[in-house]
Amino acid sequence: MKWKTLEKVSEESGLSKESLRALKKKGQLREKIHWVKSPNGRILLNIEAVEAWLIGQSPFICKKGV
């Protein structure tokens, strides 16, 4: 699945929920690229774009299997 909750990404990445929220607030994780707010109000992160950000790549370049 491409979109995961903040909690799941925190669990899998080792980054705390607070640090992910801070990155979002600072604009380093960008809305509609790295994260969206679902209709029920939860923040969902695009795991592919976040992984690309972590290794310093553009989220538009990173594709599965490349």
pLDDT digits (tens, 9 = 90+) for 4-60: 999 999 999 899 999 999 999 999 999 999 999 999 999 999 999 999 998 887 766
**pLDDT-based confidence at residue 63 (cuts at 50, 70, 90):** low
**58-63 — which CB contacts under 8 Å span 24+ positions?**
59/33, 59/34
Looking at residue 17, what is its pLDDT? 95
The per-residue b/e assignment along 2-11, b for 16 or more CB within 10 angstroms, e otherwise, is eebebeebbe
Q: Which residues contact 61 (CB under 8 A, 6 or more apart)?
A: 52
Kindly report the pTM of this predicted structure: 0.80
Beta bridge partners of 5: 44
